[in-house]
Amino acid sequence: MEFLDLPPLTQAHGTVQLPGSKSISNRILLLSALAVGTTRVNHLLDSDDTRVMLAALTELGVPVTRLGDSRDYRIIGVAGQFPQHSADLFLGNAGTAFRSLTAALALLHGDYKLSGVARMHERPIGDLVDALRQLGAQIAYLGEEGFPPLKILPSVLNEHAEVTVRGNVSSQFLTGLLLAAPLTGRAVSIRVEGELISKPYVEITLNLMRRFGVTVSRDGWERFEIAGGQVYQSPGSVEVEGDASSASYFLAAGAIGGGPVRVEGVGRTSIQGDVRFAEALEQMGANIVYEDNAIIASAGSGLRGIDADFNHIPDAAMTIAVVALFAEGRTTLRNIASWRVKETDRIHAMATELRKVGAVIEEGADYLRITPPAQLHAATIDTYDDHRMAMCFSLVALGGVMVRINDPQCVNKTFPDYFAAFAAITQPT
């Protein structure tokens, strides 16, 4: 399908069961593969990014079995050493898979090539490579310096395992180092240079490492210490939470379209930072109710613009940019420079598409300011092969205008059934 036309919508209410979290799914897959023992992974996300990780692990010799027609998998761990010491891995545009596998493979003793789609080859990885080289990794660039594709040769680990990594480009670099550090068998000290962005995603990493038996001590967000001799151990069974980033679209729909919309799969007990999207909606005037494993959103007395720092929830913050179209007054999203190195340059893409529906936009290096129009315009939205662009702009239809979404299949990256789920809670005019 080249495009999808969404009719003008007036209301949103109902219940949504979220698919599994992409961030949690791909971390758990790698940890299960590297662990000692067999892990049952329940409610794994079925998406392009997880299929990329599953295919890569299978190619590396990890025994992976899907259990019937369920979203549950059995993974037999390889105790920190992949059986295949040579592989040519194509990882699409899956950043979580590319960064974490680069780190893990670079600290082992194999000969690997890692590549992806054209956009992945435009996404910087130099900070991670520089950090891994400090530990003794042997990595070469096969194209432009600082970017994939990469050639990895057997590592020659340094005696003193101390490493510095910049924190202001992508938290996935630190996540990759943390996940891979125990593979060295020795104590590793990681110092973060500059401000660490997307801290909640690092919290997910630390939480899941603990579940697999490896503890990390930290001094604030500047230094992380992994004691030597730790080995990943299977917890036996592990559940993948619903995707909190995906929850943002339905919670926003409840706030815009009246609600209530009940989103199941995340709640007050979630380990994902993106549940804090609901706090931003509350600031804008929505009514939010938290349960242990659900969040409910409905309209309050009216939405209002806010000025806030969204460094902690960059993915979910994209949804706030669209909610701003329905708010009174201007909304400013600050500290979002990481948007520029995502699946597309999201600051530029959001600015371009928001203008199509009538908003007045001020775009900066690390911020976006949105002044909503008096009347939304019907528009054809380009999605830039970015799943979040497609999902965000579906919400515009709740303004009572038709919206055409180009390349709607891009949602397959994280939420293949998104448009069916969105249709199930919305009512056309």
Q: Is the pLDDT of residue 220 over 90?
A: yes
Residues 159 and 196 in one domain: yes
The pLDDT value recorded for residue 26 is: 97
pLDDT class for 422, splitting at 50, 70, 90? very high
Residue 398 near residue 425 (C-beta atoms within 8 A):
no
The verdict on 10 and 32 lying in the same domain is no
Average pLDDT, the chain: 96
Looking at the structure, tell me whether residues 12 and 35 fall in a common domain: no
8-state DSSP, 304: B
Q: Single out the residue of 247, 364, 238 nearest to residue 297, CA to CA.
A: 247
Asked, for residue 234, whether it belongs to a domain, the answer is no
Distance between CA atoms of 207 and 213, rounded to whole angstroms? 10
Q: Are residues 415 and 316 in the same domain?
A: yes
* The pLDDT of residue 381 is above 80: yes
Examine the pLDDT at 248 and tell me if it is beyond 90: yes
Is 231 within a domain?
no
Predicted confidence at residue 149, as pLDDT, reads 98
Q: Give a yes or no: residue 55 inside a domain.
A: yes
In a domain, 236, yes or no: no
* Count: domains in the chain: 2
Do 161 and 53 share a structural domain?
A: yes
- φ and ψ at residue 378, rounded to 5 degrees: -65, 145
Residue 235 resides in a domain: no
Mean pLDDT confidence for 27-35: 98
**Domain hosting residue 13, numbered range:** 3-19+242-428
For residues 359 and 304, state if they share a domain. yes
Does the predicted model carry a pTM greater than 0.85?
yes
Q: Is residue 347 scored above 90 in pLDDT?
A: yes
CA–CA gap between residue 358 and residue 377 (Å, rounded): 6
Q: What is the pLDDT of residues 123-168, one digit of tens each?
A: 999 999 999 999 999 999 999 999 999 999 999 998 778 999 999 9
166 and 59, same domain (yes or no):
yes
Tokens of 310: 């969204």
Provide the pLDDT for residue 147. Answer: 98
Looking at residue 213, what is its pLDDT? 98
Model confidence at 341, in pLDDT bands (50, 70, 90)?
confident
Cα–Cα distance, 174 to 128 (Å, whole number): 8
From 368, 415, 126, select the one nearest 246 (Cα to Cα).
415
Q: Which residues are catalytic?
A: 315
Identify whether residues 67 and 43 lie together within a single domain.
yes
Judged against a pLDDT cut of 90, whether residue 372 lies above it is answered with yes
d(CA 339, CA 216): 28
Instruction: Read off the pLDDT of residues 158-206 as tens digits, 9 standing for 90 and up.
Output: 877 899 999 998 999 999 999 999 999 999 999 999 999 999 999 999 9
Grouping H, G, I as helix, E, B as strand and the rest as coil, residue 147 is coil
Phi/psi at 264 (nearest 5 deg)?
-105, 140
Q: Residue 77 and residue 74: Cα distance in Å, rounded?
A: 10
Percent of the chain at pLDDT > 90 equals 96
Q: How far is CA 41 from the centre of its chain?
A: 19
- Residue 21, classed as helix, strand or coil, is coil
Question: Is 165 in the same domain as 101?
Answer: yes
Residue 332 clears pLDDT 80, i.e. is over it: yes
Q: Which residues pair with 304 in a beta bridge?
A: 328
Question: Stretch 199-217: mean pLDDT, rounded?
Answer: 97
The answer to the question of residue 405 being in a domain is yes
Q: Are 310 and 277 in contact, with CB atoms under 8 Å apart?
A: no
402 shares its domain with 307: yes
Alpha-carbon torsion (83, 88, 94, 96), positive or negative = positive
Crossing angle between the packed helical segments 244-256 and 418-425, to the nearest 10 degrees: 30
Give the CATH number for residue 384: 3.65.10.10
Query: Stretch 376-385: mean pLDDT, rounded?
Result: 97
Quick: pLDDT tens for 386-421: 999 999 999 999 999 999 999 999 999 999 999 999
Per-residue confidence (pLDDT) for residue 204, from 0 to 100: 96
CA distance 104 to 89: 13
Q: Are the C-beta atoms of 92 and 51 separated by less than 8 Å?
A: no
Give the whole-angstrom CA distance, residue 245 versus residue 343: 15
Q: What is the pLDDT of residues 36-89, one digit of tens each?
A: 999 999 999 999 999 999 999 999 999 999 999 999 999 999 999 999 999 999
Instruction: Kindly state whether residue 394 falls inside one of the protein's structural domains.
Output: yes
State the pLDDT confidence band at 429, using cuts at 50, 70 and 90: confident
Q: Are residues 148 and 172 in the same domain?
A: yes
Chain segment 257-278, per-residue pLDDT in tens = 999 999 999 999 999 999 999 9
Instruction: Tell whether the model's pLDDT for residue 325 goes beyond 90.
Output: yes
Q: Is the domain of 184 the same as that of 250? A: no
Percent of residues, the chain, with pLDDT higher than 70: 100
Two tokens at 338? Answer: 């990481």
